[in-house]
Amino acid sequence: MSPTVETDDSDTFRNVTTDSQWGTSSVQATVTFSSSATTADGVNRVNVITESGGSFYSTTLDAGQTTVSLPLPTETPATLYAVNTTGGSVVATQNVTVGGSTLP
């Protein structure tokens, strides 16, 4: 079974999808942002933070970018943080939980 991603609703984060197979501790996901996230809202970084508060992954975004590919942990719920590093603020958060089966 392919992995699935459960998410909360968000104005900044439009969609989180994956069609990737399971990895050892992560699955590759595509995150889609609203059209204003990296322009009007100034989001220029996304951080993936595990439920325990540890940093799992971080990547930068360019102005106008609406999608990014990043790994999500498979063994724990995580939160995506959309950050405006210029203004020093968290614009939005998105809770994500990867589910599914590792069996073929």
pTM beyond 0.75? yes
Nearest Cα to Cα of residue 12 among 78, 61, 82, 62? 82
Query: Helices (DSSP H) in 4-93: which residue ranges?
Result: none
Work out the percent of the chain whose per-residue pLDDT is above 90.
63
Alpha-carbon distance of 5 to 31, in angstroms, equals 11
* Mean pLDDT for the stretch of residues 9-34: 84
Using DSSP bridges, classify how beta strands 4-7 and 89-99 pair: parallel, antiparallel or unpaired. antiparallel
* Mean pLDDT for the stretch of residues 4-25: 75
pLDDT digits (tens, 9 = 90+) for 28-75: 999 999 999 999 999 999 999 999 999 999 999 999 999 999 999 987
Domains defined along the chain, listed by start: 4-98 (2.60.40)
Three-state DSSP class for residue 19: coil
Alpha-carbon distance of 64 to 50, in angstroms, equals 27
